[in-house]
Amino acid sequence: MESEHIDNRKLYEVVAHQALLSKTEIEHLKSCEECLEIIRVFVRQQISEEQT
């Protein structure tokens, strides 16, 4: 049984170094392409903002 997705706000906070993922959330990322894609989007967005 697959666990629920990680909240987008939490993923954003992780990318922005404002939060940490729990062990359960880290395990979830190992099998959830959707959550990983959200992280990729946030990382690209942050890189883009830093370059301007």
User: For the segment 5-49, what is each residue's pLDDT rounded down to a tens digit?
Assistant: 999 999 999 999 999 999 999 999 999 999 999 999 999 999 998
CA dist 46 and 4 (Å) reads 25
Tell me the Cα Rg of the chain: 12
Please give the model's pTM, rounded to 2 decimal places: 0.80
For residue 31, give both structure tokens: 């099998």
pLDDT of residue 3: 72
